[in-house]
């Protein structure tokens, strides 16, 4: 049975990958997000908004 989402995406040439629920280790974006958070924590404290913005951009 094809869902409405699958039908719409296939009609537009997109591929959909359904990942298992509650298995974040299989989702690549979760690993990227975890790496970015780890890099941000290594930057030290962000005492001003400008420093915060720079640290976030540098971490990504």
**pLDDT tens digit sequence for 21-58:** 888 888 888 899 999 999 999 988 888 999 999 999 99
End-to-end CA distance of the chain: 39
Helix (H) or strand (E) holding 36: helix 28-42
Q: Is residue 50 part of a domain?
A: yes
Residue with tokens 């290594």: 42
Domain extent for 57: 22-60
5 in any annotated domain: no
CA distance 18 to 46: 37
Average pLDDT of 8-26? 89
Q: Confidence band (pLDDT; 50, 70, 90) for 18?
A: confident
* Burial annotation 7-27 (CB, 10 A radius, 16+ → b, else e): eeeeeeeeeeeeeeeeeeeee
In a domain, 36, yes or no: yes
Which pTM was predicted? 0.59
Within a domain: 46: yes
Does 54 map to a domain?
A: yes
The count of domains in the chain is: 1
Any domain includes 14: no
């Amino acid at each position: 049975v094809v869902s409405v989402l699958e039908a719409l995406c296939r009609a537009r040439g997109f591929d959909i990958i359904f990942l298992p629920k509650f298995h974040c280790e299989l989702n690549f974006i979760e690993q990227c997000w975890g790496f970015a958070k780890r890099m941000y924590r290594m930057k030290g404290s962000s005492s001003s908004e400008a420093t915060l913005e720079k640290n976030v951009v540098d971490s990504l």
